Structure 1
């Protein structure tokens, strides 16, 4: 199973379209917030992709009707997706880890910091795909993908 993860597009429709249209074969596509407007516009002309796209609200997605946390069971795993601003991800993953454990999740997706991050700690996979538009870590814009198979979980970060 292939899952594509992007975040923090902040109005950059080109970046959003580039990532999604190159990965239409993905089973799921997560947008981790701060890009709801361009995602909504994209879905107006690509409605057939809507069932596989999950969006969580970011701190810049004003008046969003999207959830702030989304949990998705996938095979023998559970994925927790959130933007991260409500859980202090800029300084620590402790609150996010507690949320994952409370929900029985072993894969955690978050954005907000605009800095890519991938890790496996204490039985939990963490992925922040960075920003597909405005990275803050000196790198090029990025997105992530996750491959889940009976052999395990593989996290990757790629350039937009």
Structure 2
């Protein structure tokens, strides 16, 4: 199973659409971590057969999406949030504790606009960064592959356009 993780597109439909089109044929799930759900709604209309999930970000004023989600992907639980309610700009302690309470093997968050991956005591952690307004390099998004052999994840940096 392949999951593309996107966060913090902040109104940039063109950049979000570029990522979606690039992975349409190879992805089982697109997961948006907030602050860009208005353009995600437009994308959902263009690709109604594709699976899109999202969580509410602090800038998503009129979204009905949940603040957090726990998703079962082939027996692996993924805890997803935007991150602001867990204080991720200070540290990841609350996020990791909540993910472990949910029995998740993967914790995903956005909000900081800084891409990041880590593995700590059985918990994979990822922030895909921002595809429009990065704060530590180039625009980026995340890729997670879940197979029988295990979990592999990385962030992909892309040129600005």
TM-score of the aligned structures, taking structure 2 as reference length = 0.94
SS at 1:48's partner residue? coil
Deviations 1:71-114 (A, max 9, x none): 11112310011000000001111111111111110101110000
Unpaired runs of at least 5, structure 1: none
CA distance in 1, matches of 2:45, 2:145: 28
CA distance, structure 2, for counterparts of residue 78 and residue 34 of structure 1: 23
Q: What is the alpha-carbon distance in structure 2 between the residues aligned to residue 151 and residue 7 of structure 1?
A: 27
Match in the other structure for 1:74: 73
Residue 159 of structure 1 and its aligned partner are, at CA, apart by 2.1
Quote the Cα distance in structure 2 between the aligned partners of 1:144 and 1:45.
22
Partner of 1:155: 153
8 Å Cα contact 2:9-2:130 kept in structure 1: yes
Q: Structure 1 length normalisation: TM-score?
A: 0.95
What is the correspondence of 1:136-151 to structure 2 with a 5 Å cutoff? 136-137=135-136, 139-151=137-149
Q: CA RMSD in A?
A: 0.9
**Counterpart residue number, 1:65:** 64
Structure 2 gap segments, 5+ residues each:
none
Q: Which portions of structure 1, spanning 4 or more consecutive aligned residues, are displaced by more than 4 angstroms?
A: none
User: Number of matched residues?
Assistant: 157
Quick check: 40-49 or 146-155, which moved more?
A: 40-49
Q: Secondary structure at the match of 2:153?
A: strand
